[in-house]
Structure 1
């Protein structure tokens, strides 16, 4: 009888990684947290430091869908292009200072097996913007401005390397807590998940990235009440409120299929407002967000169970 609890995990991936936990699922594939085989301990950790050290060894293995309509080879092409673009010399490793490597989970290994393609990348600790908005959707203005600034900066940084991120959404934006203080200048950092979404730059891809950025910002700011003023009264509205008008107007542009502003224009005029908030009140983060960001991607109990059981049960086949 077939074991319905077993997972599909390609042979080429089983040779290198032990799947521990489902990390997430998307339109293009399924992601597992996994541990390199040579890092599997004989017994569970005994201290918090050992648990923390083991979590740092976890990787994310993405199994790409291969059914009709999926384009796994195009995603793998993007991964290889990213590696080549950012590689230092012939080492295949990006320079440590390259800002793009701090924005994306760096791909470690990939397999182009036609029936079971996959790639592995460093595991990202934190929580997605989608999860955080489900916990608390009404955000302080300073946090809304921070998210906008970080996204624009991220896309502009990637664009400067001749590339563009093409799948911006709350589920692909990971935030990390870097401070327990909810009102310091930079209590958070940001990573864009799914490096397979980085494609060679074109004007169309840049405009699409701008549109998706505005869609994300509309989601982030949708709970905020805006002053109801006429066009003639707009001059009386503060610069902070004007930011929200801009986001709403951008959303309407998207719905009407009107071309969006270029990335640099998108940021122009609001940088001063955002920086003023950062200098005066810091980035205010809800306590419930801080608590969620402090949670490990795998608990001590989950790690114990995974080690004792030797990882998730895998359906044995010869794919990949």
Structure 2
């Protein structure tokens, strides 16, 4: 098969479309013929040499994909032997998958617990844009931070792939949503998805704007991609009993945390990543996403946001788009 390889870390041109050995599904895995894979910022870090795949994972970038099952590895239940949970899979099934790596390829081996059926009415391009964002948002905003109806969620980077999904899921459960973004055009796209409070982080102080829009309360939950740069302001922006979920470090890794300010608000700070979780944890998250998010996709209340598609062999161009933040939603690569 062919895959995007990284012979040496570097800029976008470090990505090389090359012939490599076919993957072989192991115990509990399936082989997926990849139709499309979406680009994530973790892929950019891997390309630069800063984010190696977990041990035993595919060395190629790509944390999600969509396609068809080509083969079942040992121990994968077929539909006739599946439980009522719908855990069985068959050759030919159209699926999308959460990966530890290997999505930028024509084939990838995936643990069966990380597969999802392609939602009805969606094509492979749209489905490829779903696994990473739905699993990230649902696990952090709902499973960990427990966002509830009527609460306020602040999403940093509201026009990103993660952001556009977080806005929609929060609105679907009856929450109020504030977003930050870097241009009026991106904020307008967030408003189309349902965002209630629009903050241009280049021109406005998000703490002041959020407090003004919430009668001084702040956000019950904050989904943060910036890390150190925003830590102090995020704590100030929390409402009493607020929860800060850190999922990215675009603004650095070290900052001082004022524990007194956090204690006074009875606040909580969590920081998680998805890629390095054990397969059992990933399977539990995927199962929760299938239960709670897939019905929202089926009835049209939530939809993937795809900015553009590019041939997989042009992955370097896709990485340049993300490097420049010149997108809204996801950039998808097709084989």
Normalising to structure 2: TM-score of the pair? 0.25
Which is bigger in relative contact order (C-alpha 8 A, separation at least 6)? 1
TM-score (norm 1): 0.26
Structure number with higher strand proportion = 2
Question: Which structure shows the bigger proportion of residues in helix conformation?
Answer: 1
Greater C-alpha radius of gyration: 1
